[in-house]
Chain A
Amino acid sequence: MTRYYYYFFLICMLINTIFFVPRILLAQRFEGAVMALILAVLVGSTLAIVFTKSLSRFPGQGLPEIFAGFLPSVLRIPIILYLGIMWGIAGSIIIVAFSFITNRFLSPETSPRLLLLCFCSICCWASTRKASAIISVTEIVIVLNLPIVAFIMYKSYIQKHFDWDSVKILSDYTFKPPSWTLLAAATYPFTGYINFALYNRNFKELKVAHLWLIPVIGTFVLFTSIIVPIGLLGVSAVGDYLYTWISAADTLRMQYGFIERVVYLFLFIYIGFSLLFVTITWNIGTQMILDCLPKRFKKTKRGRKATPWIVAGTIAATTYWFGISSNDKGMIDSVKLWLSIRLASEIGVVLLIAWMAWHKHRKRRIRHG
Chain B
Amino acid sequence: MVNLRKRACLCLSVILSCGCLLSGCGFRDIDKRFFVVEMGIDKGENEPYKISLKLAIPSPKMEPGDSKSQIITAEGDSISATVRRMKSMIDKELDFGHTKVFVFGKPFMKENFRQSLDWMARRRDIQGVAFVAIGSPDAETVLHVKPPSERLPGNALILSFTREGTDSPFIMSEYWFDLYRKIKGFGKNPTLPIITAEKETFDISKVAVISEGKSKLELDAPDTEILNQLVRHLQRFVLKGDFKGKPFEMSVDQFRKHYRIVTPADGSPYIEMNILIKGEIEESAVPLFEQDWGALERNLEENQKQRYVEVLEKLRAANVDPVGFGVRYRATRHAPDTEWEDWQRIYPHIQFHVRVKVELKGTGIIK
Residue ranges of A at the interface with B (Cβ–Cβ < 8 Å): 30, 104-105, 107-111, 114, 117-118, 161, 163-169, 171-173, 232-238, 240, 247, 250-253, 255, 260-261, 263
Contacts and interface: CB of A to CB of B under 8 A. Distances in A.
A233 B324 CA distance: 15
A165 B324 contact: yes
B99 to A, nearest CB: 12
Contacts of B331: 164-169, 171
A234 B27 contact: no
A111 B26 contact: yes
Interface stretch (B182-190, B269-277, B292-300, B350-358): B182-190
B28 A255 contact: no
A235 B185 contact: yes
A261 B129 CA distance: 8
Given A169-B327, A169-B330, A250-B129, A255 B164 contact: yes
A234 B25 contact: no
A255 B162 contact: yes
A114 B23 CA distance: 10
Interface centre among A105, A234, A247 (most CB of B within 10 A): A234
A261 B127 contact: yes
Interface of B: 21, 25-28, 121, 124-125, 127-129, 162, 164, 175, 177-178, 180-186, 324, 327-328, 330-336, 339
Contacts of A104: 124
Contact of B185 (A173, A234, A255): A234
Contacts of B28: 109
Contacts of A253: 129
8 contacts: A110-B27, A169-B330, A232-B181, A237-B181, A238-B181, A247-B128, A260-B129, A263-B128
A237 B330 contact: no
B327 A107 contact: no
A114 B25 contact: yes
B177 A240 contact: no
A118 B21 CA distance: 10
Contacts, number: 93
A114 B21 contact: yes
Contacts of B336: 30, 172-173
A236 B25 contact: no
A19 B178 CA distance: 23
Contacts of B121: 240
Nearest to B324: A165
B327 A233 contact: no
A105 B124 contact: yes
Contacts of B21: 114, 117-118
B127 A111 contact: no
Nearest to A233: B181
Contact of A109 (B26, B127, B184): B26
B181 A236 contact: yes
A110 B27 CA distance: 7
Contacts of A235: 185
A214 B27 CA distance: 44
Interface centre among B162, B178, B331 (most CB of A within 10 A): B331
B180 A237 contact: yes
Contacts of A105: 124
Given A161-B175, A237-B180, A261-B129, A166 B164 contact: no
Given A114-B21, A250-B128, A253-B129, A165 B27 contact: no
Given A234-B185, A236-B181, A261-B127, A165 B330 contact: yes
Contacts of B162: 255
Nearest to B181: A234
A165 B324 CA distance: 9
A240 B331 CA distance: 21
Contacts of B334: 171-172
Nearest to A110: B25
Contacts of B328: 165
B332 A168 contact: yes
Given A251-B175, A255-B162, A163 B327 contact: yes
B25 A251 contact: no
A241 B276 CA distance: 38
Given A110-B27, A234-B185, 12 more contacts: A161-B175, A163-B327, A165-B328, A166-B185, A168-B331, A172-B335, A173-B336, A235-B185, A237-B183, A250-B127, A255-B162, A260-B129
B184 A232 contact: no
B27 A107 contact: yes
A172 B324 CA distance: 18
A247 B28 CA distance: 25
B9 to A, nearest CB: 15
A235 B28 CA distance: 38
B25 A111 contact: yes
Contacts of A118: 21
Nearest to B334: A172
Contacts of B186: 236
Contacts of B124: 104-105, 108
B229 to A, nearest CB: 15
Interface centre among B25, B28, B186 (most CB of A within 10 A): B25
A35 B160 CA distance: 44
Contacts of A166: 181, 185, 327, 331
A350 B112 CA distance: 57
Given A237-B185, A261-B127, A251 B324 contact: no
A250 B177 contact: yes
B175 A234 contact: no
A253 B162 CA distance: 11
Given A161-B175, A165-B328, A261-B129, A234 B182 contact: yes
Contacts of A111: 25-26
Contacts of A108: 124-125
B327 A165 contact: yes
A250 B183 CA distance: 18
